[in-house]
Amino acid sequence: MPTVVVMDVSLSMTRPVSVEGSEEYQRKHLAVHGLTMLFEHMATNYKLEFTALVVFSSLWELMVPFTRDYNTLQEALSNMDDYDKTCLESALLGVCNVVQQEWGAAIPCQVVLVTDGCLGIGRGSLRHSLATCNQRNESSRFPLPFPFPSKLYIMCMANLEELQSSDSLDCLERLIDLNNGEGQIFTIDGPLCLKNVQSMFGKLIDLAYTPFHAVLKCGHLTSDVQVFPRPEPFIIDEEIDPIPKAINTDLEIVGFIDIADISSPPVLSRHLVLPIALNKEGDEVGPGITDETEDENSANQIAGKIPNFCVLLHGSLKVEGMVAIVQLGPEWHGMLYSQADSKKKSNLMMSLFEPGPEPLPWLGKMAQLGPISDAKENPYGEDDNKSPFPLQPKNKRSYAQNVTVWIKPSGLQTDVQKILRNARKLPEKTQTFYKELNRLRKAALAFGFLDLLKGVADMLERECTLLPDTAHPDAAFQLTHAAQQLKAASNGTSDYAAYDHNIAPLQTDFSSSSTERI
């Protein structure tokens, strides 16, 4: 995920620090030393990370837009000027603008704020901003929480005792709370010196910038890989005591499936899977990414001559048009697939499904999927012209049924008229009459519209009295029977008012004799 480094260049950062030796250091120099260490680590282990550099005092400035060129970022650190007072709210507004212009509001971003813990003075200080943040309208709201998923890491060029002597630590902790608790405050342990600053930035690296290495397995074939960006632990909301679930470092492929069958499933996140090349002595060379230096190019050329299962898998999935189902943990799966960036370049990607035994309903339970050879006959057909998916659900979905809807009076009037038309054509329309009658009865019971049942019963009794002399005798019996059943259901207390109860045609001598003739 992208990173924005926000550097405090206010006058308070120029305060001198007593460091052993003749050279005089400022807090700004300590911050530059720590950021240089961070950039060097990212240049080696996080080459795909996009990073931007923002400086601020009372105003903010984008020094370096999002880039993967860490030499440019390190050069910018040495060209920073000193400005006036601290205004953290201005810096946070700058971060919002920079990230939203480049990435929008959906991409997670990490914000590294480097400051000395001074909150500023007067209007624009952090104390003033926090005191008035609840009294603002939407157009001038405080920039936290960020409008995009984020983690805020505050690197203080001060030790804990110095921050606790004022209310600086409480105000900085309030910033983390306003960002939905996503982030952490780092302080220097002990006196202010280069060694302790390195230790503080080392903790940040261990927490947020440690590459995720795993072993990709398929039977006896294995490959060391790096998953980028680092997969975040997933918390299941439905659990009583939510526990973050992290993916295993052993990623085992459990099967393969056609792209058409898996379609475009919902996923939690997507990641690049990069092979880690090992030389003959077993030392790590690094991910298979092209570099500009001659030494790294030669190392990659050597690594390119060593067979690698990750490369074989990528090529196979691309040619066969399939995806690999990979086990991430207990009842947690994902998929590996080839995604093309352009006509000539493609990457091996891994998408994470939601944890659970049935993440994709149309595939059924993952544990019940098996090889084609276990089936009595090929589920894809002799000519590969059919598919066993999607699986039909056992329970009929509510949205797949014909639901009775009475949004307008005309809908109800149409259903009642349909029953009356069939009533006048009894006994020929007996089955259709009872089908429509039961549909209306169930809808009325579901809506609690019991007066409708009584009203329709009265209509059927009236139709019975209006039958002509030439009408079939069975018609009067069926109408009277239906009216009695509806009246019994309209009371809401008898067994006839049960939702699952259906009104069956009355068996009469006339109906049995007509059945015998048929």
Residue 361 has which token pair?
A: 């309903």
My answer on whether omega of the bond before 393 falls inside 30° of 0, hence cis, is no
H helices within 104-167, ranges in order? 126-132, 160-164
3-state secondary structure 240-260: CCCCEECCCCEEEEEEEEEHH
Nearest to 12 by CA among 162, 131, 152, 151: 162
Distance CA 493, CA 83 (A): 82
H helices within 104-142, ranges in order? 126-132
3-state secondary structure 332-363: EEEEEEEEECCCCCEEEEEEECCCCCCCCHHH
The predicted model scores a pTM of 0.68
Give the number of other CB atoms < 10 A from CB of residue 293.
8
H helices within 466-503, ranges in order? 473-490
Angle subtended by helix axes 473-490 and 430-447, to nearest 10: 10
DSSP string spanning 280-319? TT--EEEES---SSHHHHHHHHHHHTS--HHHHHHHHHHH
DSSP 3-state percent helix, strand, coil across the chain (nearest 5) = 40, 20, 40
Contacts of 107 (CB under 8 A, 6+ apart): 1, 2, 99, 148, 149
Give the number of other CB atoms < 10 A from CB of residue 13.
25
Distance CA 449, CA 497 (A): 12
> Could you list the pLDDT tens digit for every one of the 518 residues in the chain?
899 999 999 988 888 887 665 567 888 889 999 999 999 999 988 888 899 999 999 889 999 999 999 999 999 998 888 888 888 888 999 999 999 999 998 889 999 999 988 888 877 788 888 888 888 787 778 888 899 999 999 999 888 888 888 778 888 899 999 999 999 999 998 888 888 999 999 999 999 888 899 999 998 999 999 998 888 888 877 666 777 888 899 999 999 998 888 888 899 989 999 988 665 444 555 554 444 455 555 655 665 677 888 889 999 999 988 999 999 998 899 999 998 877 778 889 999 999 988 898 888 888 888 888 888 887 877 777 777 877 766 666 666 567 788 888 888 999 999 999 999 998 899 999 999 999 999 999 888 888 999 999 999 999 999 888 888 888 999 999 999 999 988 887 777 788 888 899 988 876 554 444 43
Distance CA 509, CA 101 (A): 81
Using CB atoms within 10 Å of the CB of residue 55, give its burial: 0 to 12 exposed, 13 to 18 middle, 19+ buried.
buried
